[in-house]
Amino acid sequence: MSELVSEPSTLTVSDTRPAPNTFAALRDQLADAAVAFAGVPGAAGDILAGMIDDVDRALAERLEIFPVCHHSPASGLAMVRRLREKQPAVIYLELCEDMRPLLDELRNCRLPVALQAFATDTEGFPAEWAPLSVVAPITESSAEYQAIAYALDTPGVELVLVDRSTDHVFHWAPKESASAEAPADEEKPEDDGLHGSAVGIEIGDLRPRFAELEEHLLHHGKVRHWSEWWDQYVEQPLADADYDTYRQVMVMIGSLFRRLRRGSTAEDEDRERYMWTRMREHLSANDIDPARALYICGAAHAASPVEQFGIDSDAPFEISPRSATTWHYGLIPSSHSAIEAQFGLAGGAVSIAAATWAKGLRRGKVQSFRLEGQQGAKKRAKKPLVPTEPENEVADRLSGFLSRPPVLDPLDEAELLEWSVDIVRLARRNGYLASTADAIAIFETSILLAGLRNRARPTPYDFQDAAVTCIEKDRVPGRRDVRRLCEILLGGDRIGQVGYAALPPLARDVLDRLEPLGLDLSKRTLQRALLDLKTNPHLRPCSDLLWLLRRLLPQDALRPIMGSRGLGETSIQESWDIGLGKYQRSLVELGYEGVSVEQVLEQRLRRAVTAPDATAAVALAAVEDALVYLKSVRLADELGNRAVELLAAERTVDDAPVVLRRIRVLLNYFRSTEGGLPSWCERFVTAGYAHYCTLLPTAFAAEETDPSQVAAMLGFLFGMENLALSLGCDHTQLELAVLQSHPEAPAKVALLWAARFQLGLLTMSDLRTRCDTMLSNPLVLPTVPQYVSGFVQAIDPAPALKPFVVELLSKAFGTLPDTVLLPWLPKLITTLKDQTADLIPNLVREAARTFPGSLPAVDAFTPPWSTEFTTAATPLVAAPRGPVTDLLAAHPATCDALAALLGIEGNWQESGPTGNRETTDLLTRFPATAAALAAQLAG
């Protein structure tokens, strides 16, 4: 197996089946070798003999089996030759049978693309699996694409997909591992996101699931990864091999890896039973001659041990019904790097395979198949099918292939020299200080590395290692390192694109509606769109659609540079960076959810508020989105009613800050509209008032409740109390909730003091006394930052506390010694930064109003809270009599309560005579005006 090399040979007619005991000599030879190697017959002999039996069985089947490997240029070249030679009338292809309608849309695409099946609403599968996505990448060099192009463009040829449906992919998947298809934290290539987290379907997974075997092959083959081993020992020898040799070798390799595979093979065997059952049903129903059919499958499935193998088998197999999940199908763009990342191939492996494919076509003068309508496809005459020739007995090509020494491929100096010069030129463009000397060094080093690895000519991997050795320095000057530059040089990361005609209706509608922008949205580069909505009001629908797509697509697909969209906001000018071409996959998947983006958003909003984990905050966000993006009052009312239900059913206050912020925005918006507050807003306020009053004592006492959540609850209760009371709520409920609260955390204690102050249960003088006592107690000083944090957060529910918070901080900085203040500062700063970032600006503005604004005034500044006010030092002036003073004197209780709330102490003044001293002084000094007025009135 380590020397899978063969010499080129001419094509032969190969509609053949092996004669009896064709491989008997090879079987005996391998059995003797196993005994000589192990000393006694055992597992090694059984494996080697079993491999030959598998080859014999696969080639003896009346339905011709074509074994392939996924994205293998050797398989693609053999497929092209075989199709032109045999010209089958029916092709059975190992691919999910429900993806058949997608194949006709490949004409409108630029490869590589991926067939996709997508489901958002899943039934019969675990909820954590959603959304379900299956992709099958297609490249031009893949054998399956050559078969598809031949079948769709050749009259009279039928293409039948026989693999299990996409629903069975998840139905048969292990429940514990199906949701963990790809590691979450690995660094991925730039375009790996083209497939997302979809499950990949490939035809022919030829990689040993036996770590020791793979490690052994890599070590003795002197290669770094599996892709390089496969290219060196399978692809290159089989690229020019005749069909019989290719077929026998591929079946043997598939049999070897299947027999050495660790773990369960139940899923693979079910797939094989499924495919053979479908093929027998189709052959029988349509009365098809098996000699005119071709079965294309992975090499590991070519010689299956299941009892349903072969069209002559009568073993039954019951195909389980599909689940009730609704699947959507479409085409998404793919790329070489996305395929490599999904199927665990080495970086650049698919690009190198594409270059090998192109080189094989030129060297063999073979014309590949390409669907008419695709870019670069040439029209070819549609010829009728030629009947197949009679079958001949196949010869044993496998013995000669395994025993023949490797054929040395001569060095192509011109090709290697071109690579060396081009990589130096490319490296200089990317910031490397490369020169002609580096090109010479790369040329010689490539030949040296190939010699050390027992290769007659350097492979692309040898050239890549040589370029890294000779050019790579201590750091990478640009975005791409030398290894990535070699991948670009040898083929590049070719990225496919789905054509306009193959897009779902939603995607086509989006492109049509954005056509007034005058941009080519199929480009993968960012494009700048400038919208002057005042001068060009006809661009307003484009602006609305861009904001809607911004809400639905990934953030990098559409980036607003200038302009904003919110409740009541209207931009005059906007600037956008649009990259829809790069995120075509996301746009296609939107088409699986509806026929327009407005419908998709409406469905998502409804699903969000009806989900099991929906909260009132989520529902309020959905209301805001319905008003901003859809301008639908009807939908906003429906979602708002759901928000009221969710709020009443909540048992925690985790989302209280978000609820407070969103309901304030919505109330301000509705108050500015002509219709005023809708009924659901009124019910939300009343339900929230009762809800938070009920949970307030528990939130104060619970350790898991954050002080910011308690502050948000108080902000809701105090900020919306007037509206709640006007709608029938009882203020006594809030007072009782505050009186029943007994927190222990310092920040929550400060919030409770602020709430009592706001309710009039605590005067300012009492609050100042408590804080002064706290600052003078050495045992309490370490917790002062938490108290300050609580008071700062209390600014929102109790705005009157802003001067007091400034006073408290000033006293702390002015009175505490350095031994206490300096260790306290880091904790204070981190506390304010983590918990009160939104409230600090209010505190700074209050400090700016309190302290002087110039440096000279600081020396003469006296803090207002340090001034001693005494009633004896202030002369009392008798208040003049009048309606106001008479009313206050008759009902003093109101003034006494207000003075106590504000912390003002004093006595009632005696009322003097009616009059105003300033007015009488003015009339006495200037009597002329009064005399003239009196004379005018008397006359």
pLDDT tens, residue by residue, 811-826: 888 777 787 778 878 8
- The pLDDT confidence band at residue 61, using thresholds 50, 70 and 90, is confident
Largest Cα separation within the chain, whole Å, is 147
Whether the per-residue pLDDT at 271 is higher than 80: the answer is yes
Nearest to 271 by CA among 95, 48, 150, 474: 95
What is the residue whose two structure tokens read 């192509």?
412
pLDDT at residue 31 in the model? 64
Q: Which of 590, 583, 596 is nearest to 545 (CA)?
A: 596
Burial environment of residue 833 by CB neighbours within 10 A (0 to 12, 13 to 18, 19 or more): exposed
- CA-CA distances (angstroms) from residue 823 to 523, 747, 781, 809, 815? 58, 19, 11, 16, 15
Beta strands, E only, 155-237 = 158-163, 199-200
Tokens of 266: 């139940």
DSSP 8-state secondary structure symbol assigned to residue 595: S
At 937, give phi and psi (nearest 5°): -70, -35
pLDDT of residue 627: 92
- Number of residues that this document lists for the chain: 939
Judge whether residue 623 has pLDDT over 90.
yes
**Who has greater pLDDT, 913 or 248?**
248
What lies within 8 Å, CB to CB, of 26 at 6+ separation is 52, 396, 398, 399, 402
Could you tell me the two tokens for 171? Answer: 């139905």
pLDDT at residue 335 greater than cutoff 90: no
- Categorize the per-residue pLDDT at 640 as very low, low, confident or very high, splitting at 50, 70 and 90: very high
Task: Work out the number of other CB atoms within 10 angstroms of the CB of residue 762.
Answer: 17
Are 220 and 345 a contacting pair, CB within 8 Å? no
Which residues pair with residue 911 across a beta bridge? 879
Q: Is 558 helix (H, G, I), strand (E, B) or coil?
A: strand
Cβ-proximal residues to 692 (8 Å cutoff; 6+ apart), any chain: 653, 656, 713, 716, 717
* pLDDT value at residue 176: 52
Report how far residue 697's alpha carbon sits from residue 540's, in angstroms, rounded to the nearest whole number.
50
Q: pLDDT value at position 548?
A: 92
Residue 532 host element (H or E): strand 527-532
Which stretch of DSSP H or E encloses residue 813? helix 802-815
Number of Cβ within a 10 Å radius of residue 790: 28
Q: At 47, list the tokens.
A: 């494996």
Continuous segment of H or E residues that includes residue 78: helix 73-86
Range of lowest pLDDT (87-91, 211-215, 582-586, 866-870): 866-870
H helix runs in 760-801, sequence order: 764-776, 784-793
Structure tokens at 861: 């500044």
**Of 688, 710, 681, the residue nearest 697 (C-alpha):** 710
Q: How far apart (Å, rounded) are the C-alpha atoms in residues 48 and 492? A: 40
593 vs 761: CA distance, rounded Å: 56
- Beta strand segments in 23-71, E: 64-68
pLDDT of residue 71: 80
Tell me if residue 182 falls in helix, strand or coil.
coil
Q: What is the pLDDT of the chain when averaged over all its residues?
A: 79
- Asked whether residue 102 carries a pLDDT value surpassing 80, the answer given is yes
Of the candidates 728, 736, 618, the one whose C-alpha atom is nearest the C-alpha of residue 683 is 728
Burial class (CB in 10 A: 0-12, 13-18, 19+), 126: exposed
Contact 326, 121 (CB under 8 A): yes
Band of the pLDDT at 681, cuts 50, 70, 90?
Answer: very high
Helix axes 460-471, 413-429, angle to 10 degrees: 40
Q: Which residues pair with 746 in a beta bridge?
A: none
Q: In what order do the strands lie in the sheet with 64-68?
A: 64-68, 293-298, 90-96, 158-163
- pTM, entire model: 0.71
Round to whole Å and give the CA distance between 458 and 419: 11
* Average pLDDT over every residue of 563-569: 86
Tokens of 754: 């602020």
- Which class for 297: exposed (0-12), middle (13-18), buried (19 or more C-beta within 10 A)? buried
Q: Does residue 183 carry a pLDDT above 50?
A: no
